[in-house]
Structure 1
């Protein structure tokens, strides 16, 4: 690892001064009500929405973990990064229903479609899931990046970044988050693109990579009997996780809800989908380049998760190295800022406001700020536990998400596509799903103490992708059977919130919210996704 020089530090300083300037400008604007603090006043344009969706998704766990997947023979994990087509589903399928309902949060939507029980379950579970996965994983990955780049202690780097991010999120709210994310997305893309091009040139081009690591290594499609990544299970489970993450999770959907109208929101998701095609080239390919250089004896790292920072520090020239370092710090801060704001929104709107409905707007904003402070503190406390994670970080993240997503994805999909699903079906599915997901996680952790011939060992030992596919089917069956055995939902509960119940006026409004260009760009994005799937087939 080469240390940063004076020019690098100058670039980092300029970047942070611009970031502080944007945050101060935003903080000085009016934020006396919850809509302004949590959804940036619902008047954000498509460019900022799309950039914010991308920047929220691409955190340091992607930079560290996805490059690690490329460097550590985990190429099938690439399928999670070509979910641009799922992002399009958010804009084309889900967003019109969310926008029509006028909700702030995803649990609030479940209450409108089902009842308060579903809202409470999703609110509480989402906050716990954020703290245990998103916040902790991002801080852990950020600690690796910051300590490697700045040559400082892991704890100092991690805590300093968390506190700095927490300050501007607490003061600026959602508006500060989305506008700073727009800048961070640009920095991250420019910096990582430079590393990819310089890396390809240094290694001698793609053909040289292919020859060194062998074509078989570059195949994302393993056989159906592969013990790690059987392709049918990989396709099904990654899609379920994708729908949960991109179309139903507060963390991402909140960005689309900040838009001025459905038209801007949908265009924001199309732009976000376009940007979502970039991680393959910005992070996965550098990981493969780092592996190629290691095999040639030109680079050394101990863990695949170190591939990106080591490649960056050795290949990039002075100044540009500082810019990419700023981009990596931006990625970390962006992800943390997003999840901090989402946690405070869920707590304030879905829990506190429900318990105290007459609370003034100013006090609700203050409550959101306090909730963010508490989230920051819990995130810091969780660092030592996360520091025990070993292996490829990205795979760990997808495993945990596989156990979380099926019940939520099933309830949202069925709730929108099948009007017969009622509140009882949603409630039973969410409860049963969360119990099964938690059991699988506990059994997997304690697998060594289980009877190798017993049912629980087989459950714990089942490939996580195969488990995810069967788990989703189990949730769908529970939702449908429970709903059909109980009373059908009232007309009020489904009007404008499910397919087949949308009024002619709303259909006309939706039709006027997109153009031919929106359709052409969306189809082009789907074509590129198919192209990437064909390209990485090991031939």
Structure 2
């Protein structure tokens, strides 16, 4: 890899000066109450909401990993990157219920729809999952990227990035997060787009790549007998995980809750869905370009995950290389800022406020800042452990979402679409689902010591995508059966929280929150998703 030169550093310095200028501007604005600190005063426009959704999703490990998928014969994984239609489900289906209920967090919505027990359980599970997976993986991967790009020590790069991100997240709250993410999204898209266009021209165009690698390399639809990516399981499980991630996870949904009204939130989700289409072209394609150049003997790298940074450092001119490096740093910082703020919100609103209901708004904001600081420290302390995790386990972390998502997705979907689902069924599904997911993790790790053909060996060895699909179906059936054999939920308590209990006024307000432009934009996004699915068929 080529080292960054003076002009590159000038661009990186200018970028960070602007970034922290925005952060300071936000910090000096008022953050005196919980609505302002955790949800930016619920007064954010659609453009910022959409850019924030995109920037929260794209982390440095995401950028490098997706390019690695393109360079490492894992094209089917791009299905996770064309889930723009699932983001539309957030705006059209889920958001009106969240906004109408006035909640700060997803566990809080579960309490309103079901019970306090469901809220407590989801809060604790979400916090633990964030600290052990999202934060640790992002910091570790980010440290690797920063040290490689800037030529500095891993620890210096990782800790400096975490501390800088933590500072503006702690003092600026959600408003600082969404506004800095808007800037970061613009830089990341511009930089990666430049790399894609320059790379395509350098390699000789799409036709040349197809001729070099063969058309079958571009097929995302593997046969049902494929051991890694059987297409039915891939399609079903990626959708289940997508609904969990985009529609029920605090990390993403919190962005839409900052909107000034349902209309702005929905348009933000539509804009976020459009931006979600970009990673295929901005990050996956550079990986394919890097592989093509390697096959031609024009580029060299050891592992697929090195494809993006090596391509960037060798193809881009001085200055632009620094801008793309800044974009990668932006991706790392935006992901960290998002998860820091989400953890802070979950702890303060769902745990601390429940234990100290008399706490003042000022006290809650202070607690939120302290919670963010604690999460920052825990993230740093986790780095040495992440450094010692083998490649197999790191790859395994990417599968964990297929075990986490099914019960949560089932509870939220049924809770909104079926008014008969009660609190007992929701709580049992979350608890039993968590236990089953944990059991699958354990069995997968020890499957070599189990008797082949036994029930436990089958559960531990079946393809993770196939497991996720069947697990979701079982969760759906389990939730419905438990609900039907137990008491009906109180219709007054769940009024307005399910489709079956909406008032005429609720329906009228929802219809007034969109127009033909929103519908046309959504249909266009779905058409693009279908076109991409057809395009990557290996022909």
Whether the 8 Å CA contact 1:26–1:175 is kept in 2: the answer is: yes
Runs of at least 4 residues off by over 6 Å: none
Q: Which residue of 2 aligns with 1:322?
A: 322
CA offsets 1:137-184 (integer angstroms, 9 cap, x no match): 111211121011001122221111111111110010000000000000
Is residue 270 from structure 1 mapped to residue 270 from structure 2 by the alignment?
yes
Gaps of 5+ in 2: none
1:520 and 1:386 mapped to 2: Cα distance? 45
Whether the 8 Å CA contact 1:69–1:394 is kept in 2: the answer is: no
2:254 and 2:232 mapped to 1: Cα distance? 31
Q: Which residue of 2 aligns with 1:419?
A: 419
Q: Which residue of 2 aligns with 1:508?
A: 508
Change in Cα spacing, 1:390 to 1:192, as seen in structure 2 (3 Å) is farther
* Higher mean displacement: 389-398 or 82-91: 389-398
Following superposition, the deviation at residue 102 of structure 1 comes to: 0.4
Following superposition, the deviation at residue 397 of structure 1 comes to: 4.5
* Higher mean displacement: 300-309 or 99-108: 300-309
Q: Which residue of 2 aligns with 1:310?
A: 310
Q: Which residue of 2 aligns with 1:474?
A: 474
Q: Which residue of 2 aligns with 1:136?
A: 136
1:30-109 matched pairs, under 5 angstroms: 30-109=30-109
CA offsets 1:45-93 (integer angstroms, 9 cap, x no match): 0000000000000111211111111111111000000000000000000
Helix, strand or coil: the match of 2:227?
coil
* Higher mean displacement: 258-267 or 160-169: 160-169
CA offsets 1:371-427 (integer angstroms, 9 cap, x no match): 111111111122223234555999545411111110100000000000000000001
Whether the 8 Å CA contact 1:62–1:394 is kept in 2: the answer is: no
Q: Which residue of 2 aligns with 1:232?
A: 232
Aligned-residue Cα RMSD (Å) equals 1.2
1:434 and 1:66 mapped to 2: Cα distance? 28
1:461 and 1:382 mapped to 2: Cα distance? 29
* Higher mean displacement: 519-528 or 151-160: 151-160
Q: Which residue of 2 aligns with 1:535?
A: 535
1:47-446 matched pairs, under 5 angstroms: 47-391=47-391, 396-446=396-446
Helix, strand or coil: the match of 1:491?
coil
2:205 and 2:390 mapped to 1: Cα distance? 32
* Higher mean displacement: 150-159 or 22-31: 150-159
1:523 and 1:144 mapped to 2: Cα distance? 40
Following superposition, the deviation at residue 456 of structure 1 comes to: 1.4
2:294 and 2:128 mapped to 1: Cα distance? 39
1:483 and 1:178 mapped to 2: Cα distance? 39
Following superposition, the deviation at residue 447 of structure 1 comes to: 2.2
Is residue 21 from structure 1 mapped to residue 21 from structure 2 by the alignment?
yes
CA offsets 1:194-220 (integer angstroms, 9 cap, x no match): 000000011110011101111111100
Change in Cα spacing, 1:192 to 1:394, as seen in structure 2 (3 Å) is farther
2:24 and 2:390 mapped to 1: Cα distance? 39
Following superposition, the deviation at residue 450 of structure 1 comes to: 2.3
* Higher mean displacement: 474-483 or 424-433: 474-483
Following superposition, the deviation at residue 340 of structure 1 comes to: 0.3
TM-score calculated relative to the size of structure 1: 0.99
Helix, strand or coil: the match of 2:492?
helix
Following superposition, the deviation at residue 452 of structure 1 comes to: 2.6
2:143 and 2:501 mapped to 1: Cα distance? 49
1:178 and 1:186 mapped to 2: Cα distance? 13
CA offsets 1:280-305 (integer angstroms, 9 cap, x no match): 00000001111111111111111111
Whether the 8 Å CA contact 1:305–1:393 is kept in 2: the answer is: no
1:356 and 1:391 mapped to 2: Cα distance? 43
2:346 and 2:44 mapped to 1: Cα distance? 20
1:390 and 1:281 mapped to 2: Cα distance? 30
Whether the 8 Å CA contact 1:133–1:400 is kept in 2: the answer is: no
Whether the 8 Å CA contact 1:345–1:368 is kept in 2: the answer is: yes
Whether the 8 Å CA contact 1:66–1:284 is kept in 2: the answer is: yes
Whether the 8 Å CA contact 1:203–1:292 is kept in 2: the answer is: yes
1:212 and 1:393 mapped to 2: Cα distance? 33
